[in-house]
Structure 1
Amino acid sequence: MSPPHLRQPPGHVTLPAPVWFRVEAMPANGSYPSLRHAWGEFVYSYSGVTELRTGGQVLVAPPHMAFWIPAGVDQVGYNRRATVHVSIYVDLPLCAGMPRVPASLRVTPLLRAMLDRLETASFDGTDRQGRLLRAMVDEMENCTVTQSFLPDSDDPALRRLLAALHDNPADRQGTAALARAFGFSERTLLRVCQRDLGMSLTEWRNRLRVVRAIAMLQDGDSVEAIALDLGYATASAFIAMFRGITGDSPARYAGR
């Protein structure tokens, strides 16, 4: 694993414009320090998987998805593999139509086309770019809000368990063995997962593997190699899991 890379965000006290943006290429194992903004922030991933820890949950933006961070929310951003993303900062008076809590977003085709215009651009303060950015904020309101893809827990023991699985998503231990290793009875672990994650530990583990698989697909790894790296005995078992979570096969998802 590459060494941790801490990136300092821009230190603006006020935004340079009502809508301001920057495109960031983050190396593997990159992160931002804990911070909060006095404005809204829209984060869209061009490549790689961008992750955000906030308010006891983990929001995940695979390529061509996004998340929204309202003003005044504590956040820590990080990525396990190299990513390229854009952050669009929106002045508070323009945030009225956006979610009041951090949320993952499914980007509309129109907004995606406008975001593609920004990938190789930089903020220039021109009226023309300003009109594009304001139109993008209007279109953000049409994005579908989705549930947190990888919810987290405030329970110390469950949090340690989830961190261990993050470090080794190919771990093939069953729920009973994991429960014993982290001081739970199996029944208690099942109950705490439903309470804190809203899903079984098995589903959470599958979602984690999907996140890792998406990054590996972008790196050009084969489906067979990804399946083995994530602990599957066969590629077909991995493909079935991936399709069950995303609705697409790995190859089709990568092409899309």
Structure 2
Amino acid sequence: MTAHPLFDISGRTALVTGSSRGIGLALARGLAEAGCTVVLNGRDKDRLAEAAAGLPGGRVHTAAFDVTDGSSVADGIADVEERVGPLDILVNNAGMQLRAPLLEFTDSDWHRILDTNLTSAFLVGREAARRMTERGHGKIINICSLQSEVARPGIAPYAATKGALKMLTKGMCADWGPSGVQVNGLGPGYIETELTRPLVEDEEFSAWVRRRTPAGRWGRTQDLVGGVLFLASPAADFVSGQVLYVDGGMTSVL
């Protein structure tokens, strides 16, 4: 049995920010396996080259630029389109976590997490959309979070950025939808990665995650790939401004 043509994204060009490791790299791998030309982004050229070498196919490129700096983003997107080709798909994945009680959270850390998790999606999304809207088509997928909907102690700034990213997704949909660009979010739940390893290894916290999640386990990075492939495909041409939560059901239960 062959796949339905509505899910065929072979030949498309995709940029994934923050993709030298973790969720971003897993999503880039999925897009490459689906036949896309993939551009990995990050700030460390060596780490990007190492990540690219591990992906399948011969159509993997890298683009090292700072997604929190407007001029760097403008130059980076222009370079990607000139060197690799017009972008059909953008995955805004770059993000970070800083955990601290809100009364102890510093001004500098607030601005750092805001720039990395929210401003970057605005800057990269805006530059990609300048070209997508002119061409009359494009897919932008913002990596939101379970914390776009809920919060817990110690991560209020992170939840604020991810809640704002959900609304930025809806705003991008409103502005760019008439020009043929669909903008959606993907909301991971608790996913096992290098960055969450300390939480996974915390027996009490890990047991809480399993109890709290109807699926009864932590998510894996590959659990997120199907959602991105759907949102990037023609099957989602009439889907925009939505957040698809891939959280094992956690947002649905008390």
- Fold-level similarity (TM above 0.5): no
Structure having greater relative contact order (Cα 8 Å, sep ≥ 6): 2
Q: TM-score, normalised by structure 2?
A: 0.27
Quick check: which one's strand share is greater?
Answer: 1
Structure (1 or 2) with the larger CA radius of gyration: 1
Q: TM-score, normalised by structure 1?
A: 0.27
